[in-house]
Chains A and B, each alone.
Chain A
Amino acid sequence: MADAGMLRFHVPEPEVRPGGTPDFSNVTIPKAGSVPRPEIDVDPRAIRDMAFSIIRVLNRAGEAVGPWAGLLSDEELLEGLRHMMTLRTFDARMQMAQRQGKTSFYMQHLGEEAVSCAFRKALQPGDMNFPTYRQAGLLIADGYPMVAMMNQIYSNEADPLKGRQLPVMYSSKEHGFFSISGNLATQYIQAVGWAMASAISNDSRIAAAWIGDGSTAESDFHAALVFASTYKAPVVLNVVNNQWAISTFQGIARGGSGTFAARGLGFGIPSLRVDGNDYLAVQAVAKWAVERARRNLGPTLVEYVTYRVGAHSTSDDPSAYRPKAESDAWPLGDPVIRLKNHLIHKGAWSEDRHTQAEAEILETVIAAQKEAESHGTLHAGGKPSTRDMFEGVYAEMPPHLRRQRQQAGV
């Protein structure tokens, strides 16, 4: 035992800062196809190793390999590719719209498209997601109209949320997309409650909870894991580890824990880690976890290993805290390119068709944008009424709010 000297305070640091050479050599990437696929009623204790590995399907050659492969038809894969490309194009246009002053704020999904787009396809109608602000792929992949999303971002006269919410804080019960809150992690325990309610009601619907790596440090993350574990709630507990919480690298939230998936083990929750940039792997793992929930086998925690390629938001400049080229060095690559290469490898796609699809999608997004802008943007054109500001606090307006509305002259 070492002599007890002065105590020293430990603060984790990322490997590299701006100006340095990106280095992910510390990230162990298992070979595609190397992680087994257990039965869904597996004893959680038997698969503890999976919380420290990464389930991957697509290899470097673009082949789908291993026990998690082979679940999706070419049509389904092409649809998935289209969803991811749509989300990316949507992001690019909205990012530009923010720079043009058409809205105050936007948050991109760049590099994380596979996670939400693929997960949505593992759910059934009636299931409920409790998303963060970076899962718009759930809406895109479920066919929610892009124009409605843009109306929300523009806070215009057709905004389904009447201009009350910050851009990207969508809500759609019909599409199984719970109202987004600015307060991090709050929705994680709410998802567990929703799932508990479904079980109490002897329903067959399940819930999906979403959280980022940074927000796992919030107390509601821990509350959610306790409740999910205690009541065996039919919920999939998703952790999107994109390595960054604004400027803070994931080690600050993760601490000495090997992985975020490992957090689930202490709660007796089966916990998997998956290549978040591998559409096929995300879908396969999502299906596995969703089926476990649906068969009343309880919650599953899934950590999606990915990388936040874009800035945190339109108010953020990542070059102040991480190397500019870090995303290029990310060993799990780009989800769109990887699925594209896989489909080309299968003979179901080509460079030409991809280029053509890019153009078609851009055209669709621009058309949606034109339609949305015909209803106004944040500072121009149609906008929600001031009366809308007073409505909806309660089902019926109480006297004090009526007085205030009159004072406001509406």
Chain B
Amino acid sequence: MPRRTMIEAIRDAMDVSMARDERVVVYGEDVGFFGGVFRATQGLQAKYGKSRCFDAPISESGIVGSAIGMAAYGLRPCVEVQFADYVYPAYDQIVSEAARLRYRSNGDFTCPIVVRMPTGGGIFGGQTHSQSPEALFTHVSGLKVIVPSNPHDAKGLLIAAIEDPHPVIFLEPKRLYNGPFDGHHDKPVTPWSKHELGEVADGHYTIPLGKAAIRRQGSAVSVLAYGTMVYVAQAAAEETGVDAEVIDLRTLLPLDLDTIVASVKKTGRCVVVHEATLTSGFGAELVSLVQENCFYHLEAPVARVAGWDTPYPHAQEWDYFPGPARVGRALLETLEA
């Protein structure tokens, strides 16, 4: 099976979708001729023409707002916001419009759009190239929120997102674009070509939205993670020797609660890990759900390892990023609790 980087897999997903369905259009800042600042749309304009893949003015609300109008017309826009840190000007369009259009019009109009955006830190991106704003979207009824962690999933989930009849926020951990990353910034990074999840089938396939994947079977503690933190959690388990079950949530909204509950009922312990800031982060929702659904199976308090409640700093990158040492400590503390 061919191996692809996450960027290549995402590009392939759009290529496959555009070939299958002429309603699929792709646009955003620098997305057209240049092929995107991360090369995610390279070659698509040459292949499908300027009316299917094109550059947009630097206006996030313009990009998402126009996509909503296109979707209402009957197209399937898959648009890019250059960094998740720059999605806020489009927040009104996403929250007030895309998410609610079906509900408020009783299905008269719908909004099948995908908003792709590179997310997450670990790249010395500083305050405005590192944020993880997923909780701002999981709080919004009507949206679907996806965070893939590998090329195979990224392609299958993105095709599924483009085909989904709802507005989908598709957060791409840019730290994973070229290879998996476990938080050991001092070690050389392995490329996706050396990783089994870098195997990405040609052609069309989908991964269902709303389904988690178990990345590491374990019996001692359940780790709920997504994006880059999946690899950090796996590394922490190996390094501490804790037999952790690592669940890659993949879709945050709607959430695969069944997989989570089955795992926590089995292990009796749970650690939630995300890069985003702690307070009111998505982890709080996960902890609440585990508490509500697994209370009598829990043998320890549910722990959270997250970004600190500060803006994402530059020089202090590795003091901020929740690396394997911090996650490992949480695993051990949860076992001992």
Contacts and interface: CB of A to CB of B under 8 A. Distances in A.
A226 B59 contact: yes
A195 B75 CA distance: 11
Nearest to B93: A186
A35 interface: no
Interface stretch (B60-68, B186-194, B314-322): B60-68
A400 B254 contact: yes
A179 B105 contact: yes
Given A130-B69, A193-B69, A227 B165 contact: no
Contact of A181 (B77, B96, B102): B96
B65 A220 contact: yes
B291 to A, nearest CB: 15
A157 to B, nearest CB: 13
Top 3 A-B pairs, shortest CB-CB distance: A193-B69, A193-B66, A189-B65
11 contacts: A164-B103, A169-B104, A171-B105, A178-B109, A189-B62, A190-B66, A192-B65, A197-B73, A201-B74, A392-B103, A392-B107
Specify which of A171, A179, A181 lies most central, judged by the most chain B CB atoms within 10 Å of its CB.
A179
A289 interface: no
Given A183-B97, A190-B97, A196 B104 contact: no
B98 to A, nearest CB: 10
Contacts of A120: none
Contacts of A399: 254, 257-258
Interface in A155-172: 160-162, 164-165, 169, 171-172
B69 A223 contact: no
Contact of A394 (B102, B105, B258): B102
A178 B72 contact: yes
B57 interface: yes
B310 interface: no
A219 interface: yes
B141 interface: yes
Contacts of B75: 197, 200-201
Interface string B27-61: 00000000000000000000000011000110101
Interface string A78-121: 00000000000000000000000000000000000000000000
A191 B109 CA distance: 13
Interface of B: 25, 51-52, 56-57, 59, 61-62, 65-70, 72-75, 77, 89, 92-93, 96-97, 100-110, 141-142, 165-166, 210, 254-255, 257-258
Interface string A169-213: 101110000110111001011111111111111000001000000
Given A183-B96, A194-B69, A398-B254, 7 more contacts: A164-B106, A171-B104, A171-B106, A179-B109, A181-B100, A223-B61, A223-B62
Contact of B104 (A161, A201, A222, A224): A161
A386 interface: no
A338 to B, nearest CB: 34
Contact of A186 (B51, B65, B102, B142): B65
A183 B92 contact: yes
Chain A interface residue bracket vs B: 35 or more
Contacts of B142: 393-394
Nearest to A171: B105
Contacts of B141: 393
A350 interface: no
B103 A393 contact: yes
A92 B105 CA distance: 26
Nearest to B90: A223
B102 A224 contact: no
Interface string A115-139: 0000000000000101000000000
B65 A190 contact: yes
A161 B101 CA distance: 11
B92 A186 contact: yes
Nearest to B70: A197
Contact of B57 (A199, A230, A395): A230
Contacts of A128: 72-73
Given A392-B106, A394-B166, A189 B92 contact: no
Given A186-B92, A393-B141, A400-B257, A224 B106 contact: no
Contacts, number: 143
Contacts of A182: 96
A168 B254 CA distance: 32
Nearest to B97: A186
B69 A207 contact: yes
Contacts of A400: 254-255, 257
Contacts of A161: 104-106
A189 B141 CA distance: 22
B256 to A, nearest CB: 9
A27 B108 CA distance: 42
B105 A224 contact: no
A183 B142 CA distance: 17
B109 to A, nearest CB: 5
Contact of B69 (A162, A195, A393): A195
Nearest to A172: B108
Contacts of B62: 189, 220, 223-224, 226-227
Contacts of A195: 69
A129 to B, nearest CB: 12
B61 A194 contact: no
Nearest to B68: A190
Contacts of B105: 161, 171, 173, 179
Interface centre among A162, A194, A198, by most chain B C-beta atoms within 10 angstroms, is A194
Contact of A179 (B92, B104, B210): B104
Contacts of B258: 399
Given A179-B108, A226-B57, A399-B254, A194 B72 contact: yes
Contacts of B65: 186, 188-190, 192-193, 220, 223-224
Contacts of B101: 179
A189 to B, nearest CB: 3
Given A399-B254, A400-B254, A196 B69 contact: yes
Nearest to A199: B51
A385 to B, nearest CB: 13
A181 to B, nearest CB: 6
Nearest to B95: A183
Nearest to A207: B69
Nearest to B23: A201
A14 B110 CA distance: 42
Most chain A CB atoms below 10 A, which of B51, B57, B61, B142: B61
Interface string A223-253: 1101100100000000000000000000000
Among B25, B73, B96, B108, max chain A CB count under 10 A is at B73
Given A227-B59, A393-B102, A198 B73 contact: yes
Contacts of A162: 106
Identify which of A160, A196, A227 gathers the most chain B CB atoms within 10 Å of its CB.
A196
